[in-house]
Structure 1
Amino acid sequence: MRKRIIILCMLLMSLIMLGACGNSEDKAGGSSNGGSSKKGKTFKIGATQIVEHPSLDQAYKGFQEALKDAGLDVEFDLQSAQGEQNNVKTIADNFVADNVDLIFANSTPSALGALQATDQIPIVFTSVSDPVGAGIVEAMDQPGDNITGVVDLHPEAIKETVQFIDKYFNGANVGLIYNAGEQNSVSQIDAVKEAAEGTSLTLTERTVANTAEVQQAAMTVASEVDVLYIVTDNMVVSALDSVVGVAEDQKIPLIVGEPDSLEKGGFATFGIDYFKIGYRTGEMAVEILKGEKDPSDIPVEYPKEIKLIINKEAAEKQGVEWHDEWDELAEFLETNE
């Protein structure tokens, strides 16, 4: 009888030890399964944007779509600064106080505001043309400890645009309207000046401090120039309707910096797809939220491609002389008319 009792005790102890090992393996497997320890978590993302206009809105939609496709449970809090720099700081500070899991900064001012507000919360940005010049990152391959993203300016876009204007509007005086208080715009204007060196073009600049000044600036510069070129300046693009009106009234070709401005009446652009750069930024956010990478592990990226896109309807309204080779070189904006 004693021998049976000893055997039963040994069997019982073996079962207990096996159960303990099984539990230990389950815990280890859960903690090392590519961020599965966060399974079931609802992430809170603060999205900050300097102003509302089609390009920024498309970037935000792309960002949201990437997180949706990744299957993450996310609560989005979108805040627009309505073009006011003071609002940028308030929005960023509120996100920090709310202890959001990540900040999506959609524009240069928004990225700077978020970076000034926190060095702890991860930040991903897009719709930023010159993150190095703006002081957001040290270099494209050296993102910050808590910030990275995707720029909205292809390295060849401005050069291609200036060459296009020089070829088809040879000798033109080109009007530039921008907000001198936005680093994103200043860096682009500097790039336009550099690209125009050695060409037949001359440049005429007008700066604005708010959207209310855009129409008057366009009317003033239109009397002096042959072509208008609007870079991706958030303030001017948000009031682009007034520039389009002047271009049509004065029969001046309006070159723009991105495809969404074509839909508002621009004639041509060497543009990118803002939805795609927003989506790519969202993919970066997914890696960060899952704990797979830190922002410092993800280099800042350029858009993958640019393309010449022409709005034929706008070309006609602005009195543009058509060149048959554009039929082969360009894609064309689809309109309902």
Structure 2
Amino acid sequence: MKKIKVLSIMAASLAMGAALAGCSSSTSSTGSSSSSNKVYKIGILQLVQHEALDAATKGFKDEVTKELGKSHVKFDTQNAQGDSSTATTIATNFASEKEDLILANATASLQAAESATKTIPILGTAVTNYQVALNLKKFNGTVGGNVSGTSDLAPLDKQEKMIKDFVPKAKKLGILYCSAEPNSKYQAEQVAKYAKKDGLTVKTYTFSDTNDVSSVTQQAASNSDVIYIPTDNTAASCAKTINNVALKAKTPIIAGEEGIMAKCGVATLSIDYYGLGKTTGKMAVQILTGKKKISKMPIQYYANPVKEYNPTICKKLGIKVPKGYKAFKN
């Protein structure tokens, strides 16, 4: 009897151990499955539709999708149509919907997102200067908090040098941009400093929105030997209008980015906005998967901008292209 009882107890113990092992295995499997089935919600706030910002958004989506898998990410892409109040509304909605991450494409988008939430990670892209955009008193390359991202700033001293490259006899430089865009103002001020050192007389011409682009461009084209336009979103969306005026006045334009140059400029120091978006996408994946903390991620810059010229407009204006410039191909 005693022997049978001991065997019964041993059998029961083994059965219980097997059952517990089964429970442990099941729990582990469920936890792993839950983690792998995570769907990340990403809100994308793009300020306005034009080639540069469109390319940055596409690069971001492509990179995130490639790394996380199409079934593991859900994008909510919204366009503010160039209106800052609309951008604020979109950012507020993203915050209330508790997105896992927000992509803020362009300066006004970043400002709206940063005002809407202090907890959801925000990555900017196609933002020229984060210190200016966010009114930071101190900036060492890392914003901190819940904000980081990529910058589309190409060296402004090298951009200014293109003025003399393409219009060597220029005396009067007109700088054209939207007064509502703080990063455009920053670029304009920096280029003006370099231009004055090179002996140019500088005058700024600003428009407040799309309604007065044509008239302000007319003033700039009539009173300038050459015009410089920074990476300005309003100017980019109205580049054809600017071209119609400037080309008629035979006033060449040096542009801050390729999209503007393609429609109205003779040259630019080109940034690959698709590549910039991909870099931002890599940052997003690192944040979402917990590999890096956004508060410690420095702003990243496009490493190798390219000196480009627009063959069509250069030919129409009779401009001789200097050495070292690559022809833009649309």
Number of the residue aligned with 2:163:
165
CA RMSD of aligned residues (A): 2.2
Number of the residue aligned with 1:68:
65
How far 1:286 moved relative to its partner? 1.1
CA contact (8 A) 1:166 1:200 kept: no
Distance 1:12 1:330, change over 3 A: farther
Number of the residue aligned with 1:144:
144
Where do residues 1-337 of structure 1 align in structure 2 (5 Å cutoff)? Answer: 1-14=1-14, 16-17=16-17, 20=20, 24=24, 38-70=35-67, 71=69, 73-135=72-134, 138-154=138-154, 156=155, 158-172=156-170, 173-323=172-322, 325=323, 329-335=324-330
**Paired residue type of 1:151:** S
How far 1:2 moved relative to its partner? 2.9
Aligned residue pair count: 326
Distance 1:184 1:95, change over 3 A: same
In the superposition, the TM-score normalised over structure 1's length comes to 0.89
- Superposed structure 1 runs of 4+ greater than 3 Å apart: 14-31
Distance in 2 separating the partners of 1:287 and 1:207: 40
How far 1:68 moved relative to its partner? 1.0
Unpaired runs of at least 5, structure 2:
none
CA contact (8 A) 1:263 1:333 kept: yes
Distance 1:264 1:29, change over 3 A: same
In the TM superposition, what whole-angstrom CA distance separates every residue of 1:101-155 from its partner, at most 9, and x where no partner exists?
Answer: 211100111101101111111111111101012226652533222111001113x
Structure with greater helix share of residues:
2
**Paired residue type of 1:219:** Q
Unpaired runs of at least 5, structure 1:
none
How far 1:7 moved relative to its partner? 3.3
In the TM superposition, what whole-angstrom CA distance separates every residue of 1:34-77 from its partner, at most 9, and x where no partner exists?
Answer: xx853212222111122111111110001100111112522222
In the TM superposition, what whole-angstrom CA distance separates every residue of 1:143-169 from its partner, at most 9, and x where no partner exists?
Answer: 222111001113x2x111111212442
Distance 1:162 1:141, change over 3 A: closer
How far 1:19 moved relative to its partner? 5.4
- Stretch deviating more after TM superposition (38-47 or 52-61): 38-47
Distance in 1 separating the partners of 2:15 and 2:298: 51
How far 1:171 moved relative to its partner? 4.5
How far 1:21 moved relative to its partner? 5.2
CA contact (8 A) 2:310 2:327 kept: yes
Distance in 1 separating the partners of 2:15 and 2:268: 72
**Paired residue type of 1:174:** L
Distance 1:202 1:7, change over 3 A: farther
In the TM superposition, what whole-angstrom CA distance separates every residue of 1:225-282 from its partner, at most 9, and x where no partner exists?
Answer: 1112111111111101111112221222221111222332421100110011111111
CA contact (8 A) 2:166 2:319 kept: no
CA contact (8 A) 1:253 1:319 kept: no
The percent identity for this pair of structures is 33
Distance in 1 separating the partners of 2:110 and 2:270: 22
CA contact (8 A) 1:49 1:56 kept: yes
**Paired residue type of 2:325:** A
**Paired residue type of 2:142:** Q
CA contact (8 A) 1:262 1:333 kept: no
